[in-house]
């Protein structure tokens, strides 16, 4: 039986000129796991919200949506929805209040509400968090609470909007395992919109690929991954062995493919760049939020050179953002020394700019162009630099848009431009690829490299290891309040054990120095590769 069916579905937002969705056809049988993929702004979130009539966006809709054979209309308690940013959906102050919200509003008796809550809390392992305040939870915990808040009324269909976009690799794996359990063990139909393919791509029943509001592919994952349009979004194994038959989708399948094929046992290690001029040097930085409290920075040492792109990887909540805030002068360490261009921060001639994790925080005006001009005025710089910056980013067409209406990739691009207006010599970027599709992430990576080529220095904190491996000159792992293993990226990833890229895990013990899909392609095909 079809749980969800959409036919000829078109939608145009009230204020938009072109439709967000055009003639979309989507179906999901009961118990199926369907993955929606596509670039930022391709219509994934709009489609998901249309499937939950209570939260459908305002605009012109045509076509038909059916839920279990009946025309979709509000209320639709059979459908649960988990938003992209859990904080935006929270309505209570504590985990307990959040979980109880849906059953308390379902007209159930207090006993039934408590039973459903207890069942959900026990099933999903939320017991230790139950009395906690929501604002004190980590990103992974918030995502878990958001999932449980939707699951508590035991929906038959679960819609998830980018559940992994804010999670580090380990938290994302845990969340993926939970979603799979919901789908496989409870028989819930799951439709998940996601950019990251490493978690659920291989496990889903079908991949639906959206481009500019149209469905361009609706295929089982192995067939979808073989399509050129989908390849960039496919898991590393599928990208590395693009011409293999059958196409591997997981690290395990990739390893098997490699083990049973002829391949090089080593690829040459790319030569790391040599940097000489230090522009930022942190020596033994210590920072805690309260006196006597836990040290978030526990004697952090870090060195950044002119022209260098340093990526700092690490888990959610490990203190990466705090380090950037300290380096940017937004938080003060209680011990340690920080030198910018060889001088203390207050006397430094070099300027430090910071691209925040929430790019929208940068915008204070109703359009991007107005905001750029406002910032330039505030900094006493000529306003015509605003147009120049947009032209440099290739984002002239975004100038008159409201920042909140931009897609994730566009917003990040415009935010980068906004920070570059202050002409920083050192750019600190906090999760610059968070929530971006692979193509937008690659674009940001290339832009950061261009800045380095101009003589600026970039320090980016990220939990996107693929991004770090592809673009950074140097890499370090932030753990326990310290930057460990700071070294050129090729050495960092070639030596990595299990905290590595998917390609690195596929090649582990079989192809030395291979940590990018291009390296695997070269080893597998015996050809050459360009870094």
Please report how close the Cβ of residue 57 comes to other proteins at its closest, in angstroms.
9
Torsions phi, psi for 377 (to 5 deg)? -60, -45
Please report how close the Cβ of residue 509 comes to other proteins at its closest, in angstroms.
43
Which residue, 153 or 479, is less far from other proteins as judged by CB? Answer: 153
Please report how close the Cβ of residue 448 comes to other proteins at its closest, in angstroms.
16
Which residue, 111 or 530, is less far from other proteins as judged by CB? Answer: 111
Which residue, 351 or 392, is less far from other proteins as judged by CB? Answer: 351
Which residue, 37 or 158, is less far from other proteins as judged by CB? Answer: 158
Instruction: Annotate 280-310 with b (16+ C-beta within 10 A) or e (fewer).
Output: bbbeebbbbeeeeeebbbbebebbbbbbbbb
Residue (of 138, 235, 253, 222) closest to 194 by Cα position: 235
Q: Tell me how far apart the alpha carbons of residues 308 and 226 are, in angstroms, rounded to a whole number.
A: 36
Please report how close the Cβ of residue 525 comes to other proteins at its closest, in angstroms.
45
Q: How many CA atoms lie within 13 A of 228 on its CB side?
A: 0
Please report how close the Cβ of residue 53 comes to other proteins at its closest, in angstroms.
9
Q: How many CA atoms lie within 13 A of 405 on its CB side?
A: 16
Residue (of 9, 143, 151) closest to 78 by Cα position: 151
Please report how close the Cβ of residue 431 comes to other proteins at its closest, in angstroms.
13
- DSSP code at position 94: B
Q: Tell me how far apart the alpha carbons of residues 403 and 392 are, in angstroms, rounded to a whole number.
A: 18
Which residue, 379 or 453, is less far from other proteins as judged by CB? Answer: 379
Which residue, 77 or 480, is less far from other proteins as judged by CB? Answer: 77
Residue (of 84, 2, 80, 72) closest to 46 by Cα position: 84
| Residue 145: other Cβ atoms inside 10 A | 26
Residue with tokens 């920083």: 424
Which residue, 80 or 333, is less far from other proteins as judged by CB? Answer: 80
Which residue, 363 or 515, is less far from other proteins as judged by CB? Answer: 363
Strand partners for 37: 209
Residue (of 469, 467, 526, 461) closest to 494 by Cα position: 469
Contact call for residues 273 and 472 (beta carbons, < 8 A) = no
**Residue 383 is inside which H or E element, if any?**
none
Alpha-carbon separation of residue 206 from 36, 66, 473, 485 (angstroms): 9, 19, 37, 40
Which residue, 135 or 484, is less far from other proteins as judged by CB? Answer: 135
Residue ranges in contact with other proteins by CB under 8 A? 52, 54-55, 74-75, 77, 80-81, 83, 85, 87-94, 96-97, 100-111, 113-114, 117, 131, 133-135, 149-150, 153, 325, 328-330, 351-356, 358, 360-364, 375, 378-379, 404, 418-419, 421-422, 424, 428
C-alpha radius of gyration, the chain, whole number: 24
Please report how close the Cβ of residue 52 comes to other proteins at its closest, in angstroms.
6
> Which residues, other chains included, contact 503 with Cβ-Cβ below 8 Å and sequence gap of 6+?
236, 240, 469, 514, 515, 516, 517, 519, 520
What's the angle, vertex CA 433, arms to CA 148 and CA 419, rounded to 5? 120
Please report how close the Cβ of residue 23 comes to other proteins at its closest, in angstroms.
26
Please report how close the Cβ of residue 280 comes to other proteins at its closest, in angstroms.
14
Which residue, 85 or 491, is less far from other proteins as judged by CB? Answer: 85
Which residue, 78 or 123, is less far from other proteins as judged by CB? Answer: 78
> Which residues, other chains included, contact 111 with Cβ-Cβ below 8 Å and sequence gap of 6+?
none
Contact call for residues 529 and 519 (beta carbons, < 8 A) = yes
Contact call for residues 313 and 474 (beta carbons, < 8 A) = no
Which residue, 49 or 239, is less far from other proteins as judged by CB? Answer: 49
Which residue, 319 or 356, is less far from other proteins as judged by CB? Answer: 356
How many residues does the structure list for the chain?
Answer: 531
Please report how close the Cβ of residue 466 comes to other proteins at its closest, in angstroms.
26
> Which residues, other chains included, contact 454 with Cβ-Cβ below 8 Å and sequence gap of 6+?
none
Please report how close the Cβ of residue 94 comes to other proteins at its closest, in angstroms.
6
Please report how close the Cβ of residue 113 comes to other proteins at its closest, in angstroms.
4
Which stretches does DSSP call E strand in 404-506? 426-430, 457-462, 474-479, 482-488
Three-state DSSP class for residue 340: strand
Please report how close the Cβ of residue 223 comes to other proteins at its closest, in angstroms.
33
């Amino acid at each position: 039986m079809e749980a969800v069916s959409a036919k000829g579905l078109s939608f145009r937002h009230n204020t938009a000129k072109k439709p967000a969705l055009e003639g979309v056809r989507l179906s999901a049988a009961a118990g199926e796991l369907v993955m929606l993929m596509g670039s930022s702004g391709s219509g994934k979130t709009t489609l998901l919200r249309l499937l939950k009539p209570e939260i459908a966006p305002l605009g012109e809709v045509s076509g038909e949506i059916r839920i279990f054979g009946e025309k979709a209309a509000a209320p639709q308690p059979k459908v649960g929805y988990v938003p992209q940013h859990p904080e935006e959906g929270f309505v209570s102050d504590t985990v307990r209040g959040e979980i109880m919200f849906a059953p308390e509003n379902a007209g159930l008796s207090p006993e039934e509400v408590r039973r459903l809550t207890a069942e959900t809390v026990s099933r999903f392992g939320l017991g230790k968090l139950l009395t906690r305040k929501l604002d004190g939870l980590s990103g992974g915990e918030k995502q878990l609470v958001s999932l449980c808040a939707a699951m508590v009324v035991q929906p038959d269909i679960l819609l998830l909007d980018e559940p992994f976009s804010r999670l580090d690799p380990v938290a994302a794996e845990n969340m993926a395992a939970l979603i799979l359990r919901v789908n496989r063990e409870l028989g819930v139909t799951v439709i998940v919109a996601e950019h990251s393919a490493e978690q659920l791509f291989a496990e889903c029943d079908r991949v639906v690929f959206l481009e500019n509001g149209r469905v361009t592919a609706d295929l089982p994952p192995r067939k979808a991954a073989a399509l050129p349009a989908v390849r960039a979004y496919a898991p590393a194994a599928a990208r590395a062995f693009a011409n293999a038959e059958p196409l591997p989708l997981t690290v395990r399948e990739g390893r098997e493919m490699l083990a049973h094929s002829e391949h090089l046992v080593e690829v040459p290690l790319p030569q790391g760049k040599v940097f000489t001029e230090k522009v930022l040097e942190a020596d033994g930085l210590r920072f805690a939020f309260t006196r006597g409290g836990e040290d978030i920075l526990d004697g952090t040492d870090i060195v950044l050179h002119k022209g260098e792109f340093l990526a700092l990887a690490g888990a959610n909540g490990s203190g990466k953002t705090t380090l950037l805030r300290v380096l940017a002068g937004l938080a003060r360490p209680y011990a340690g020394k920080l030198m910018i261009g060889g001088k203390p921060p207050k006397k430094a001639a070099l300027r430090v700019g910071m691209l925040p994790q929430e790019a929208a925080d940068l915008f204070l005006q109703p359009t991007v162009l107005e905001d750029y001009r406002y910032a330039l005025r505030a900094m006493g710089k000529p306003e015509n630099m605003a147009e120049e910056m947009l032209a440099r980013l290739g984002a002239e067409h975004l100038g008159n848009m409201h920042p909140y209406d931009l897609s994730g990739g566009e917003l990040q691009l415009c935010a980068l431009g906004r920070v570059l207006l202050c002409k920083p010599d050192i750019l600190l970027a906090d999760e610059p690829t968070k929530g971006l599709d692979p193509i937008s992430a690659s674009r940001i990576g290339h832009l950061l490299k261009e800045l380095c080529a101009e003589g600026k220095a970039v320090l980016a904190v990220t939990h996107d290891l693929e991004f770090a491996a592809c673009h950074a000159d140097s890499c370090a792992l932030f753990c326990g309040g310290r930057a460990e293993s700071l070294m050129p990226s090729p050495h960092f990833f070639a030596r990595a054990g299990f905290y590595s890229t998917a390609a690195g895990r596929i090649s582990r013990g079989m192809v030395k120095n291979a940590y990018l899909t291009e390296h695997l392609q070269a080893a597998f095909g015996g050809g050459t590769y360009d870094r």
